[in-house]
Structure 1
């Protein structure tokens, strides 16, 4: 009889215990001061993937599905590591899984110009500084937040790594320091930019391309000297005073928020609405691509800038001096038998063209303009307006730093008057599709004879 009375009570306790266990958090999204993590082979939450990448997670936000985590990341021989935020696959117990198709996607990194080795450390100091040191103790990166009343570290649901104070106010956040990617909910204010990596295997921020927020939109450019713009999405009439405008990655668009009397939202670029985890990345070739998790793994769902400008408008599509015609690359040719440019690799024409004889300012009398008909340049900006063809050509020959003269004029204008552009550095040249552009164009590329 006593057993019958006790057993139901025991059943109730067991039921309550199961409920408590199933309701507790299994993720680990925050950390306290005076915490140190070591990038060692015995570190917890370490996963190797079949694509050669490896992660050692420090913080993880959320369960079951693609989720944000941060920690050490490497790919390839794993001699160098990033401290990064990445999207990983998790199960219902917040265990990071390694499906054959679900490799980690890096969306932010702290030290891509200064990777660290095995046994490097990350420390959230008692003073509130988040510090990354290499295995030999060398400082690799820091938030420089010591003495700023930091109370802890958190990885948010949106993938933002933040240091917060005792009132939960943000002291420092990764969203203020973008690298080459954006995630939904992230914004760019004027002065912020994405900088492409050198390549998929070289994370260094030494790539040619950048995407920057401006007061009235976005601009993509080659980081030459001076920079050469290859894309702009902007609107007129926005309030540029106070620097309060920004571009935000929303579900379905990159939207400009302007602040004057009222807040106005203006869609700059439409994006395929997300049905799962999604992010965008400025690639090393200048493309701005959107990737989304699907049942078949990560897939490209948008190539955002190509829809506006076409493939031939990308600055390195055919390499330096290469001419892009409907996606095919060739080198500038002369009407005479002389050759001034040759392919860097005849089997890979997209690598561009090299000068047979290098230009030199030591003997400008040997400079000559090579005329190339019906070509244009992605960054054309009139340096000399309403001029004639010969004046444009002569202006380049008289300026040693000028590499070519590009001339635009109206169709059927006999090129008597037009606009002139004199770049000091040449990337890819493109064929002018006059039926579409509705203007005539010609280039005079400076060569050494």
Structure 2
């Protein structure tokens, strides 16, 4: 029930900002630090942000609900090892990458599109986008979900959500929810193959994916 109410309130937030404000243009060379004056890039309404949030004994990088006291992450970077110390920087580098710069000199690439980045924006939908020089989106967080889906976001065929380790740890947990190419939404343990005997739960929509693709193709 609590999860439903949370989703309802989030959907209500989205309806209230339907008349979208102009998003902040994040230019190349812009940077964030966990403890400085600039620790996140806000969406126009201030509901969502991309940046640093506290996690266990350090800081993680992700997209979170900034409009409520408890920063609730909906997308987390580098989930195999998401915790960083306070002396790292998140940089939209001049060579067109989103990187975590560490004092030891071992930078971590968060996003490295196949095309050069010109700028970025954090949208009111909760989608973080990277643009090329003509403002065409070349990468967006909505196409790379981690453990959550937001209103308007979809889980595409062959994509999966991976649970968090716990409520206070957004590293990868032990379950994954996969949207199979046949239209079947199935929950498996992490590290197992996509076979029926490994599944914990399934949607019972096996075959619907093929039917929907055929219907879509017939309309074109």
Alignment: residue pair count: 195
SS in 1 for 2:142: helix
**Counterparts of 1:61 and 1:258 in 2: how far apart (Å)?**
36
Name the structure 2 match of 1:33: 28
Deviations 1:304-326 (A, max 9, x none): xxxxxxxxxxxxxxxxxxxxxxx
Matched, 1:61 2:28: no
C-alpha distance 258-140 of structure 1, shift in aligned 2 (>3 A): farther
2:176 pairs, out of 199, 205, 210, with 210
Check the 8 A contact 2:23/2:123 in 1, yes or no: no
2:95 pairs, out of 118, 121, 127, with 127
**Counterparts of 1:60 and 1:191 in 2: how far apart (Å)?**
31
> What TM-score do the two structures reach when normalised by structure 2?
0.77
1:117 pairs, out of 80, 85, 92, with 85
**Counterparts of 2:27 and 2:201 in 1: how far apart (Å)?**
44
After superposing on structure 2, the runs of 4+ consecutive aligned residues of structure 1 that deviate more than 4 Å are none
SS in 1 for 2:168: coil
Check the 8 A contact 2:128/2:140 in 1, yes or no: yes
Check the 8 A contact 2:44/2:123 in 1, yes or no: no
Matches within 5 A, 1:396-435: none
Name the structure 1 match of 2:202: 232
**Counterparts of 1:165 and 1:221 in 2: how far apart (Å)?**
37
C-alpha displacement at 1:112, in angstroms?
Answer: 2.5
C-alpha displacement at 1:29, in angstroms?
Answer: 3.0
C-alpha distance 234-157 of structure 1, shift in aligned 2 (>3 A): farther
- Structure 2 residue runs of 5 or longer lacking an equivalent are 1-20
- Structure 1 residue runs of 5 or longer lacking an equivalent are 1-25, 46-55, 90-97, 246-256, 264-449
C-alpha displacement at 1:61, in angstroms?
Answer: 1.2
Name the structure 1 match of 2:164: 197
SS in 2 for 1:203: strand
Check the 8 A contact 1:27/1:63 in 2, yes or no: no
**Counterparts of 1:236 and 1:75 in 2: how far apart (Å)?**
38
SS in 1 for 2:66: strand
**Counterparts of 2:209 and 2:215 in 1: how far apart (Å)?**
6
C-alpha distance 71-60 of structure 1, shift in aligned 2 (>3 A): same
C-alpha distance 104-261 of structure 1, shift in aligned 2 (>3 A): same
Check the 8 A contact 1:218/1:232 in 2, yes or no: yes
SS in 1 for 2:78: coil
Name the structure 1 match of 2:143: 176
> Which fold has the larger relative contact order, with Cα–Cα distance below 8 Å and residues 6 or more apart in sequence?
2
C-alpha displacement at 1:184, in angstroms?
Answer: 0.6
C-alpha distance 259-33 of structure 1, shift in aligned 2 (>3 A): same
Check the 8 A contact 1:212/1:219 in 2, yes or no: yes
Check the 8 A contact 1:193/1:212 in 2, yes or no: yes
C-alpha distance 110-225 of structure 1, shift in aligned 2 (>3 A): closer
> What TM-score do the two structures reach when normalised by structure 1?
0.40
**Counterparts of 1:258 and 1:217 in 2: how far apart (Å)?**
17
Matches within 5 A, 1:260-275: 260-262=217-219
Name the structure 2 match of 1:155: 122
Matches within 5 A, 1:305-320: none
**Counterparts of 1:30 and 1:187 in 2: how far apart (Å)?**
25
Structure that is richer in strand per residue: 1
C-alpha displacement at 1:28, in angstroms?
Answer: 6.7
Q: Which has the larger Rg?
A: 1
Name the structure 1 match of 2:13: none
C-alpha distance 163-238 of structure 1, shift in aligned 2 (>3 A): same
Matched, 1:142 2:120: no
Name the structure 2 match of 1:88: 66
Name the structure 1 match of 2:12: none
**Counterparts of 1:118 and 1:189 in 2: how far apart (Å)?**
35
C-alpha distance 258-61 of structure 1, shift in aligned 2 (>3 A): farther
For the aligned residues, what is the CA RMSD?
2.8
C-alpha displacement at 1:32, in angstroms?
Answer: 0.5
